[in-house]
Amino acid sequence: MTSIPEIFPPRGLRITSGPLELRGIGEPEMLALLDVVRDGVHDPATMPFSFPWTDAPADELPLNYLQWWSRHVTDWTPAAWSIDLAAVWEGEVVGVQGVTTRDFLVTRGGETGSWVGRRFHGRGIGTAMRRAWVAFLFGHLGFEYVTSSAFVDNAASLRVSEKLGYRPNGSVWYARRGERAECRRLLLRREDFTGAPPIAVEGVEAARRFIGIVPR
């Protein structure tokens, strides 16, 4: 073996759709993501994430992100895994799009999550990311449903879910910066997905074998 994607095939995934590319996170992508994070992911007065990772001190973020990056390999098991890809828009790294699942070969579903750097907000990038990713999950990895969630004051994320055909799936509450906050759960079944874009995919067969969808 001569490359990381040969050992860990999710790192070799590449999905393209128009000006968008979702690709495995290597060292260049990680360093670019750190630059995006340093410039800000959201309005500091708000917190869109149930785990407030952006509240970490600036000098702790590089190590935190490196540890997050490494855990995708060290924590991977057939029973519980996640894939997170760097989102690249017109050649520039802008954020991350991913999915987390447990017992996938039985459940055939998982939770999607994403973020986009603040300076790229308002350009439809988040919608394009989620559309391409869900099209990939349904069309190439055999997902039958995906879930998502967003705080009730995160209107942009809720709009993206609505555009794609997600349906309400209850609420949960978190302690957010010392206050109680409602987080809406959302569910998208394969048959309800609207507006699937054309995508081109690389590295999917190796990833499918690695996950166990097809025989090794």
| Per-residue pLDDT reduced to its tens digit, 2-15 | 788 898 999 999 99
**pLDDT at 94 > cutoff 70:** yes
Which tokens sit at 23?
């690709």
**pLDDT at 155 > cutoff 60:** yes
Highest mean pLDDT among 30-39, 68-77, 138-147, 158-167: 138-147
At 216 the pLDDT is: 45
Residue with more model confidence, 122 or 203? 203
pLDDT 10s digits, 180-213: 989 899 999 999 998 889 999 999 999 999 999 9
pTM of the entire predicted model: 0.90
At 131 the pLDDT is: 97
Band of pLDDT at residue 71, cut at 50, 70 and 90: confident
Give the Cα separation of 169 and 174 in Å (integer): 16
Which tokens sit at 150?
């967003």
Give the Cα separation of 87 and 20 in Å (integer): 7
Average model confidence (pLDDT) across the chain: 88
At 39 the pLDDT is: 76
pLDDT 10s digits, 124-147: 999 999 999 999 999 999 999 999
**pLDDT at 30 > cutoff 60:** yes
CA 5 to each of CA 12, 144, 194: distance values in angstroms, whole numbers, following the listed order: 5, 26, 32
Instruction: Give counts: helices (H), strands (E), the chain.
Output: 7, 9
Give the Cα separation of 148 and 189 in Å (integer): 12
